[in-house]
Structure formats: C-alpha cells, structure tokens
Structure 1
Amino acid sequence: MKSSAPQAIIGDLQGLTQVVRKEESEAQTRPLDFRLISRILTYMRPYAAKRNALLVAVVLRAIQLPALTWAIALTINGPVTSRDIPGVWLAAGGFFLLALSTQFVMHFRQRYALELGELVVKDLRNELFAHLQNMPLSFFNRTKVGRIISRMISDMEDVRVGVQEVLFVSLVAFGQLLVAAACMLYYDVGLFLLVLGMAPILWLTNRYFHKLMSELLRQLRESFSRVTATLAESVLGVRVTQGFSRQDENARLFKLLVQDHSKYNTRVMQAQGLFLPLLEFNSQFFAVLLLIVGSYRVLQPDSTLTIGELVGFFFMANMFFSPIQILGNQYNQALTAMAGAERLFALLDTPPEWTDLPNARPLPDVRGQVEFDNVWFSYEPGRPVLKGINFKAEPGETIALVGHTGSGKTSIINLVARFWLPDSGQIRVDGVDLRGVTSESLHRQIGIVLQTNFLFAGTVLDNVRFARPDASFEEVQRVCRQLGCWEEFSGLSQGLETPVGERGAQLSLGQRQMVCFARALLANPRILILDEATSSIDIVTEIRLQQALKVVMQGRTCFVVAHRLSTIREASTILVLDHGEIIERGNHHQLIARQGHYARLYERFSRAVTLPPAG
C-alpha cells in the first residue's frame, strides 16, 4: 500500500481542525425565546400520545413529591401525637404505597422524556441532512465544514438536553414549588410570607454563581477544544512532524495549552468549592430563622399552629426551596439549548440560492449534445469568471479544456453538471435548456471523476456501486475489466469486498482513482466529465488507463480537464481558455500548426517530460 502525499495529510489536518474547533465567536447562550420553544414542540406532534402521557406523568410527579411530605406531617400530627399505634401502621402502609407510586411515575416520566427527546432529535437530524443534501455548491463554498458538523452534533445535543431534561424537569420542579407553596399557605400565612422573602436571596445566589460557572465552563470548553485540536493535528501529522524534527517544539506548545486548560479547570473547581458551602450556609441560616419564628408562634398561648403543623411546614419549606436550585440549573441549560436551537433552525431556514423551477420536467434519455450559448457566469457579483462562452459538443465528441489555473475550466464543467447556474446565456442538452429540467434527471445521465478521489466508508464494491446500488457483481466485474483494473482489485486482500478505509486510506492513490473511474462508468452516463482525473495517478497507471478510456469514452460526450496535455491530444475539440474566455479552439494538430497559446503550452510540457540522457 502506498503512502499518502504530504498535501493530503495537511488537507486532513485542516479539515479536522475545522471540525474540532467550534467557532469561539458563536454565542454559547441566548435568552429564552418562546418562538423557538414553540417550534421545538411542533416536532412532538407526530408523537402526541407519548407526549400527552408524559405530561400526565409530569403533573402526577409534581403532586406526589409534596404529597409524601404532607403524609409524614399528617402522621406526626395525627396518630403519633395521639399515640395511635394502629393508626401509625396504617399511615406507614399508605405512605409506602404512595412512595411506590412515585417511583412508578418517575420511571415513565424519565423514560418517555428520553424517548421523546430521541425521536425529536432523530427527525431534526434527518431533516437537516436532507436539507444539506439539496443545498447548491455555493453554500458549501462559503460555509465551513466544522460549522455544519457542529450544527449536526453539538447544537443537536443541546436541543436533545433541552427536550429530555430541561423542559420536563423544569415543569416538575415548578409544579412541586406551587404545590409546596399552597401547602405552606394552608399551614401558616405568616411563616409562608417569611419563606417567600427568603426565596429571592436563594435565587439571586444561584443566578450569580451559575452565571459565573457558565462563563468559566465556556472558557474551559474552548481551552479543551484547543487541546483536542492540537492533539488531533499531532497524531495525523506525525509523519510531517518527524520529517521536520518538530517534536520538541510541538511538545512545548502542547504543554502550554495543557497548562492553560488546567488553569481554567482549577477556576471551575474553586467556584464550585465556594458555591456549595455558601448554599448550605444559606439553607442552615434560613432553617434557624424559621425555627426561631415558628417556635415563637407555637409557644404563644393563643396560637393555632401546632407542633406537628410546624414540622410539616419545615418539610414543605424544604420542598419549596429545593426546586429553586433545580430551576436555576435548568435555566442555564435552557439558555444553552436556546443558542443551539437558534443556530440549528437558522441553518434549516437557509434557502438554497436556486432550486428546480416549479414546472421543471424530467430530462428524457439524451444523445449527449451539449451547447453553451453566450454563457456568462460569476461566483461573486461583478466578477465574472466566464465571459460569453460559446461552443457545441456533438454526441460522442470529446471536449478538452486547457488553460492556466483560474481560467474557467472547472467552472464550465460545473455548469455542464448544473452544480451552478449561469448568470446569463443558455446551456442546452439535446436542445433542452437545463434551467427547465430537474436536477436528478440530468445527474442520472452524467458521470463525474474529480481530481479529489473521494471514497466513502465501505468496501471497494460499495464505492463502485455508489451510483447504482442495485448493480450486479457481474456488471461491476465487466466495468473493471474494461478499465483493465480487475486483476488489481481481485488481488486485494478481500477482493472487491476489501474495506477502503477512511477516505480510501487502505488503497493507493492509483487504486482510489481507478475506483472512481469504475464508479462513473458503471452508471453508464451519456455525458462523462473528467476533471483532472489522472492528476493523482502515476505515469505507468495513466498509460495503462489511456487505452481503456478510449474504449469507454467511445459514444459518450466527454469533457476533459487536464494539466497533462498528453491526456487530451485525442480530443475532438480543444478549448483554450484564458481569464474566462475561449482564446483558441480546434484539435491538437490544428492548434499546434497555429503556433499560438496552446502550442507554447505543449512545447513547455514536452520539454518538462523529456528526460536527460543517462550519465
């Protein structure tokens, strides 16, 4: 197996760095937005039965928890105070049954919340993936891969947490708080007002520390992202690192990043170490205050508050304060979920720059005539990359595109494949304007082999069958024999069932490109596009493919882009481009005889490939 080129390694590093490093400029939280919440809730509609059962469980759970406390208070104030032993046993049995029911309800509350959250995220992921698959190339040219993956993974997980935990846990906590408040109000209005005055203090303490923790955790995540990104770069780029003896310098830089991450981690621990004792002290202080005031009320001669009711009030006060801390935690998670949902829906709401026309018709089977009629095209307004392009390719002809980098070669084939639309002019296939046909019907009749020999996870057979998953093994074998690569593929460790590895890493560059050729040819296209298709193949392999390609290209309209002029000498027509314009056209012999731009290119190429004499 051949080693990957350094350029491929560097490309992998850049791509992985984009994935790992989430944009630090993006907001980590945002205020509660009920429009976003309402939109998330719409994804629960297909699962209305499960959602409604979950809401019932939420209501029951919110009532049951204070009910347990109420039952203890009633037992103390009743059978215990009156020394009614049978009554105590009866109350204990009732308490046990009530406690058992709370566990039963808790099971279904958690189970349904987790299932519903998973169903919502599943539908969102499928919708987002389908949306991305239909976006034009212009979207991917201006949007970083890391940002898209972050939407699909990080932001999606934030929404999952928002549905599974924040929403329903908050509803339970809020319901528990209201029921406990009603019970305390029933016991004693004065003590309830005292507790109500304490609540803002606890709330503000929670809010301050959670805001502080949110910022510290954000810094911690960012520092961890830098550590993981550097680690990933070091692992993937170890060959380059060792080749340039960068081990010591890389270790020094990594040490600084680890120290920085450790510093943020320590700050988080320090904040937690201060917050928890302070919270416990506040609870104890409030308990002392309630004890003093409550005891004073009970000891008054005309008091209507009994000792049992005071004990019940203490229990209910605990039931009242505990949800406040829970709601504080959930509030911070809710803000994170809001930020994730906002970014997620912003991507979902991004419309494609162009789509098939409403009245677009399927393109019937074509012969392969392709015509450019005064085509102008630009990636950015006011900066045209193609200027008034005119040519016609008859069925079975091969059109070669030649020119320096940036001259417009790739732009032409992108327009042929309708990855982009022209600014003006018409592109016709068999006389039909491509604007009026569906993209799918066109793409099913086009085969493409690009300079980047991208392979998907799976086997060699899976990748060859990519355009035609239903193709038989015999059809795949026939295509491989046409290309002259059957013996090479069958000689792999598992033949066509050999896994290609991540992005084809288990195959040599030449083998990867042969898979791409076979993939395109198995689709049996009427129009074949070869964009620098032999740039990553060694000279010996290229020579071996030339004869096979002649047979395969016969009868198809082919567009060939190549820096190696040896691959286009047999083309029917060669279009020489310069700054978006066709400056010469003709076949190889005509252009050589003209002694123009193409002849000079060919002369430089011939000198470059001529080897010096031995010795």
Structure 2
Amino acid sequence: MSTPRDRRPLSLVQRAKDDAPEAEVRPLDWGIVRRLFGYTRPFARKRNWLIVLTLLRASQLPALAWMTALIIAGPISKHQLSPLFGWIAAYAVMAVLTDGLFHFRQRFALEIGEMVVGQMRSDIFDHVSRMPMSFFHRVKLGRILSRVTSDVESLRAGIEQVFFVGIVQLGQMVFAAAVMAWTDWVLFLVVLGLAPVLWLLNNHFRVRLSRDTRAQQESFSRVTATLAESINGIRVTQGFVRQTTNAGLFRSLLADHSRYSMGAARSSAILLPLLELNSQFFVAILLMLGGWQVLDGQVEIGVLITFFLFANQFFAPIQVLGNLYNQALVSMAGAERVFQLLDIKPDWEDAPSAVELPDPRVQAKSSADLAKARGARVEFRNVAFGYDAKQRVLHDVSFTAEPGQMIALVGHTGSGKSSIINLVSKFYLPTAGEVLIDGYDIRGITGRSLHRQSGMVQQSNFLFAGSVLDNIRFGRPEATEAEVRAAVEKLGCADMFDSLPQGLATVVSERGGGISAGQRQLVCFARALLADPRLLILDEATSAIDALTEARLQQALVTLLAGRTSFVVAHRLSTIRHADLVLVLDAGRVVERGTHAELLSLKKHYAALHEQFVRMGAA
C-alpha cells in the first residue's frame, strides 16, 4: 500500500517554491507575443488575409470621415445639389464595402482565435499526459485546470480583440494624424501636445495595472485549485464535518480574489476617465484656436470641420486602446502562465537511444513458445531510490523475478512496497543501481513499449465516465464485445456484470459511481486480463472487495496470473500464500525473502506479520 513516506514527492522547500506566485515580469513581453503568433502558422493564409483586412479597416473608417468632411465643406456649404447625390452615393458604396469587409475581418479573427485556443489546449493536454508521476505529486490539479480554462480563454480575447482591434485603432489614429497634419499643421501641433500627457498617464498606471492583474490571475488559480481539491475530497470533508470550515477558507480565497479584482478595476476606472478628460480638454483648446483662425479669416470653415472630424477619429480610439491595454495585461499574464506550464521539463525522459522492449510473443512459433513468452524477467541490482534527492526510501534492493513468477511485497506502511512497483512500471527511475526487464536496463527502453506489455490493478479502482464495456477495453480499445465477454467469463464473474441494469452497457459516472466497489474492482481485473500483459502489478487489488467476493476471485486470480510475471502488494496474506517469492521490506530494505512456508519457519518479521493478520482475521 502506498505510504506518506513512500511517496514523498518533494521537500517542503520545493513544494513552497512550486506554490509561490510567479515572479513579476514586463507587462508586454514581445517574446511571448512572437511565440503566441507562432500558433497561427498552420493557417498562415487566413492569418495573412486577416492582417490585410485589418489594415483596410484601419484606413476605411477615416476615409468615411474624410468623405463626410468633403461633402460638408463642398456641396453642402456651397449649396450644390447635383454633386451632393453623387457624393452620397459614393459614401454609401464605401460604407457597404467597409461593413462587408468588417464581416470577414470579424469572422476570420474569431476562427483564428478558436483554432489557436484549441491547439494550445491540445498541447497542454499532450504535455501534461507525458509528464512523470512526480509532476502530478507536485502540481495541484486546480492549477492545471486553470491553465486550460481561464488562462487559455484570456488568450482568446487577446487574439480576437487586442491584436486585431488594436491594429485598427492605431491605424485609424495614424491615418487621422496624417490628414490633420496636412490640413492644418498648427492645430496638429496642439494635438501632438497631448502625446506626452497620455504617455505619462499610461506609464504611471501601467505598473499598477500589471501588478493587480497578475495578482488577480494568481488568486483565481488558487480558487480553482481549492475548488477541485474540495470536490475530489468531498467524502473526507463530509465524513469529518468540515463543510463549514472549508467553506470559510474558500470564502477567504474568494475575498482575496475580489480584493485583487477591485484593485485592478479601481486602477482602470481612474485611467480611462483621465484619458477621456484629457481628450475633451484638448478638444476645447482646438475649438478656441480653430475658432479664432476662422474668425480671423486664416482658414475656411470647411477646413475646421475636416480637422475636427479627424480629431474625433484621433481621440476616439484612446479609450478603446485603454480597455485593450487592460485586456492585453490579462492575456499576457495568461500566456506567461500557460507557457510556463508548457516549458516545464520532465524530471526524466526516455533516453534518445532508448529502444522498444521486444515482445517475444510476437516471434513465438508454437503454443509452448507462447506459454514461455507470457512472462517477463525482472531483476533489481543494488537499487536505491528516493522521491527526494536528499532522502532515500529504498536501499540496496536486489532480487530476481523469473518469467511467470509471482513476487509478493510485504511490509508495514512506509516500508517501500509502492516504490518498488513505481520502479518496475518506470513511473520513476532508480537513483542508483539497475532495474532490468528481460535483460534490458529500464533506462534504455521506452516507457511506452514497457507499458504496452504491463498491466496494473490498483487499490484505487479508477473508472472513467462511460459504459462498463468501454472501461474494460480501455487498455485494448480495438477489442470486440465478444472478446470482452470472453475475458469476463474467463474470470468467472460474468453473472455479476449481467446483474447490472444494462449488463456490460451499464453507464457509470466519474470514478465509477453507480456500481459497487467490488464491481469496480472486477472491471479493473477484466481490463487487465483483456490487455494480456506479460508483467502484472496488483497493488492492494483486493482491498476493496468483501470476503465473499474475494473467495470468488481466487480462481480468477489464478487465471489472471497464470504464466505472467506478477508483483503483488497486499495486506491480506491469503492473496500471497502461493507466491513464488515473498519479499519482506522494512525501512526500504529487504529484510527477509523466501516462500510463505519458509518465512513462517524462520519465525521473524514475516511470522510476526502473519500472526498480526491471523489475530485480525485477515489471513
């Protein structure tokens, strides 16, 4: 059985480091922007068209304003009716063209955003699913969920809104500035005086908004992580009447999140009105100077109208860009956190020179050869191991499991049983020594090829949401229903599945809800048998089964284990009486080895354990 000491994933220092908030970085990181932009390469043609449409949109909006100014300053001010209809028709054509292209710009932006988000979520899933077990002991589930949900979703807004809408608004300002400079350079110099003021305001609030936004994102991650942990542990929560206490803790996390969100909202609520106030202030100055020029006869009224229309085109994007800047900060924080997850290097990976573990059953030419090839040879040579580099949980462990043998691991909690299983399964690599499978060092074979020839039935009989049939053929998806039925009948438990409401088609909820613990365990046994492994691991596999069901499973276990090399961890000694080799572990060392009878005759550790189980009625 797994133990707290047996599975210490990291030191307290490392755990604190992993749970600490990320270090502060520049709000807009162009390295992250370039990396995010790289996700658009698979659909570069659509992306390039979108950029062209965005630039057109940036010029079309000021062009409409220019046409409005020309119509007012021309036919309307000069009372020319005939040209007016022509100008209005041209304006209508431009308006229709502008809105038509806007449709495609909007559609392409949404499509690209969806494709990027989908690819990014797929990359996160692929990356996480390939990480070793130490990663999942270190990183909370809620943090991973937060990356896939809220963080990636913030990137969608960054792609669909911030980037392309920002180009339109900036392009509109540049075009408007060019027209204003050409129309009246004196008034344009007044407009330019606004730039330093806007820059100072933006620079003052930038750091504040960045800090508040990052704290807001981090606090939401803590909320998500706590929610996921609470749901997973709801049985313990209710069993120890912790609902009120946990709800209070959750409310405190929500209060922190609200505090950070309110801080970001206050900063934004100050910045945007200030930007708008400055815009209105400069419009007032322009009215005063422009009015004086018209009254003094220096410019015509049409020129002033043109200038003010474009001044509006210049100032209007400021508030939009302010909102986009806030969204950009959220997107940057989300992108940084997502890429931090994607950049986590596994504690170990298959060596580049790793080879596929050969399956001798493929070359078997006769039933006798096939029977010999059904088991794998496993050897531990002076193996030492520790989940934490500073503290080892296994010391100088050596033994050999010949093909077809059953190896029983016995010992008190924390003795190292699960550590041996983790090494055999290549969920971890030994700190020292060698683990050999069929003569191959486990470091030199791919984990994928080893797992194809391995099967595992654990104490936590995990089932996926779906039918019983789908769960049984999880390890062999191509298996037919007839093959699944044959495996179930071979185990001698077909009647227990037939008693379910829809038989093998019965749908179970997440973690196997809807069927009994014993039935869930039977599903796991059938799953392992259908996968036809050469190396089988039973980790407290019968702990969730009552005595009557276990008695029925004894013959099924014989069928399941026949010819296969197996490692069995059990506290019920009845499960391991017929083991070929029993390893008695204590504090990470093999203190006794032999058969059940041999170890009883020694009257030492194993005999004492046996006596305890006899008194408890578990032998």
* TM range, smaller chain: 0.7 to 0.9
Give the 5 Å matches for 1:70-149.
70-149=66-145
Give the 5 Å matches for 1:181-200.
181-200=177-196
Change beyond 3 A, Cα 1:209–1:466:
same
Cross-structure match for 2:324: 330
Cross-structure match for 2:364: none
Cross-structure match for 2:32: 36
Cross-structure match for 2:10: none
SS state at 1:379 partner: coil
User: 2:83 & 2:346 partners in 1: Cα distance?
Assistant: 72
Q: Which amino acid aligns with 1:115?
A: E
- Point out the more displaced range, 360-369 or 236-245: 236-245
Change beyond 3 A, Cα 1:494–1:265:
same
Q: Which amino acid aligns with 2:174?
A: L
The correspondence for 1:64, drawn from 54, 60, 65, is 60
Cross-structure match for 1:307: 301
Cross-structure match for 1:290: 286
Measured after TM superposition, the shift of residue 494 of structure 1 is 2.0
Residue 474 of structure 2 corresponds to residue 466 of structure 1:
yes
Give the 5 Å matches for 1:367-446.
367=373, 368-446=376-454
- Point out the more displaced range, 197-206 or 509-518: 197-206
User: 2:599 & 2:548 partners in 1: Cα distance?
Assistant: 27
Residue 501 of structure 2 corresponds to residue 493 of structure 1:
yes
Measured after TM superposition, the shift of residue 448 of structure 1 is 0.7
- Is the contact between residue 203 and residue 328 of structure 1 (CA under 8 Å) also seen in structure 2? no
Change beyond 3 A, Cα 1:115–1:472:
same
RMSD over equivalenced CA pairs, Å: 3.0
The correspondence for 1:562, drawn from 553, 558, 570, is 570
SS state at 2:460 partner: coil
SS state at 1:44 partner: helix
- Point out the more displaced range, 412-421 or 221-230: 221-230
Residue 480 of structure 2 corresponds to residue 451 of structure 1:
no
Give the 5 Å matches for 1:534-545.
534-545=542-553
Q: Which amino acid aligns with 2:433?
A: G
User: 2:79 & 2:113 partners in 1: Cα distance?
Assistant: 50
Cross-structure match for 2:50: 54
Number of residue equivalences: 588
User: 2:394 & 2:235 partners in 1: Cα distance?
Assistant: 41
Change beyond 3 A, Cα 1:372–1:44:
same
Cross-structure match for 2:355: 361
Change beyond 3 A, Cα 1:146–1:30:
farther
User: 1:263 & 1:385 partners in 2: Cα distance?
Assistant: 44
Change beyond 3 A, Cα 1:413–1:66:
same
Change beyond 3 A, Cα 1:382–1:223:
closer
User: 1:135 & 1:260 partners in 2: Cα distance?
Assistant: 32
Give the 5 Å matches for 1:142-157.
142-157=138-153
User: 2:352 & 2:229 partners in 1: Cα distance?
Assistant: 46
- Point out the more displaced range, 272-281 or 185-194: 272-281
Cross-structure match for 2:369: none
- Is the contact between residue 581 and residue 595 of structure 2 (CA under 8 Å) also seen in structure 1? yes
Measured after TM superposition, the shift of residue 465 of structure 1 is 0.8
- Is the contact between residue 465 and residue 476 of structure 1 (CA under 8 Å) also seen in structure 2? yes
Measured after TM superposition, the shift of residue 307 of structure 1 is 0.6
Q: Which amino acid aligns with 2:349?
A: T
Q: Which amino acid aligns with 1:456?
A: F
Change beyond 3 A, Cα 1:523–1:258:
closer
User: 1:39 & 1:530 partners in 2: Cα distance?
Assistant: 45
- Is the contact between residue 203 and residue 325 of structure 1 (CA under 8 Å) also seen in structure 2? no
Change beyond 3 A, Cα 1:37–1:413:
same
- Is the contact between residue 565 and residue 602 of structure 1 (CA under 8 Å) also seen in structure 2? yes
- Is the contact between residue 401 and residue 575 of structure 1 (CA under 8 Å) also seen in structure 2? yes
User: 2:573 & 2:440 partners in 1: Cα distance?
Assistant: 32
- Is the contact between residue 217 and residue 334 of structure 2 (CA under 8 Å) also seen in structure 1? no
User: 1:31 & 1:251 partners in 2: Cα distance?
Assistant: 34
- Is the contact between residue 468 and residue 505 of structure 2 (CA under 8 Å) also seen in structure 1? yes
- Point out the more displaced range, 394-403 or 117-126: 117-126
Q: Which amino acid aligns with 1:36?
A: I
Cross-structure match for 1:18: none
Measured after TM superposition, the shift of residue 28 of structure 1 is 8.3
Change beyond 3 A, Cα 1:251–1:152:
closer
Q: Which amino acid aligns with 1:392?
A: T
- Is the contact between residue 141 and residue 225 of structure 2 (CA under 8 Å) also seen in structure 1? no
TM-score scaled to structure 1, two decimals?
Answer: 0.87
Cross-structure match for 1:7: none
- Point out the more displaced range, 362-371 or 40-49: 362-371
- Is the contact between residue 457 and residue 528 of structure 2 (CA under 8 Å) also seen in structure 1? yes
- Point out the more displaced range, 376-385 or 63-72: 376-385
- Is the contact between residue 237 and residue 243 of structure 2 (CA under 8 Å) also seen in structure 1? yes
Change beyond 3 A, Cα 1:250–1:362:
closer
User: 1:266 & 1:429 partners in 2: Cα distance?
Assistant: 58
- Is the contact between residue 220 and residue 264 of structure 1 (CA under 8 Å) also seen in structure 2? yes
Change beyond 3 A, Cα 1:250–1:581:
closer
Identical counterparts, % of pairs: 54
Q: Cα deviations across residues 76-111 of structure 1 (Å, max 9, x unaligned)?
A: 111111111121111111111111111111111111
User: 1:424 & 1:229 partners in 2: Cα distance?
Assistant: 35
SS state at 2:591 partner: strand
Residue 357 of structure 2 corresponds to residue 349 of structure 1:
no
Measured after TM superposition, the shift of residue 603 of structure 1 is 0.2
Measured after TM superposition, the shift of residue 64 of structure 1 is 0.4
Change beyond 3 A, Cα 1:431–1:43:
same
SS state at 1:585 partner: strand
Measured after TM superposition, the shift of residue 246 of structure 1 is 6.6
- Point out the more displaced range, 149-158 or 276-285: 276-285
Q: Cα deviations across residues 22-45 of structure 1 (Å, max 9, x unaligned)?
A: 968246874222222112222212
User: 2:123 & 2:33 partners in 1: Cα distance?
Assistant: 18
Measured after TM superposition, the shift of residue 483 of structure 1 is 2.4
Stretches of structure 2 that go unaligned for 5 or more consecutive residues are 1-17, 361-372
Q: Cα deviations across residues 358-404 of structure 1 (Å, max 9, x unaligned)?
A: 33222222432211122222222242222221111112110000111
Stretches of structure 1 that go unaligned for 5 or more consecutive residues are 1-21
Q: Which amino acid aligns with 2:529?
A: L
Measured after TM superposition, the shift of residue 343 of structure 1 is 2.4
User: 1:572 & 1:226 partners in 2: Cα distance?
Assistant: 49
- Is the contact between residue 268 and residue 326 of structure 2 (CA under 8 Å) also seen in structure 1? no
- Is the contact between residue 415 and residue 586 of structure 2 (CA under 8 Å) also seen in structure 1? yes
Measured after TM superposition, the shift of residue 538 of structure 1 is 2.2
Measured after TM superposition, the shift of residue 276 of structure 1 is 6.4
TM-score scaled to structure 2, two decimals?
Answer: 0.87
User: 1:267 & 1:433 partners in 2: Cα distance?
Assistant: 56
- Point out the more displaced range, 381-390 or 582-591: 381-390
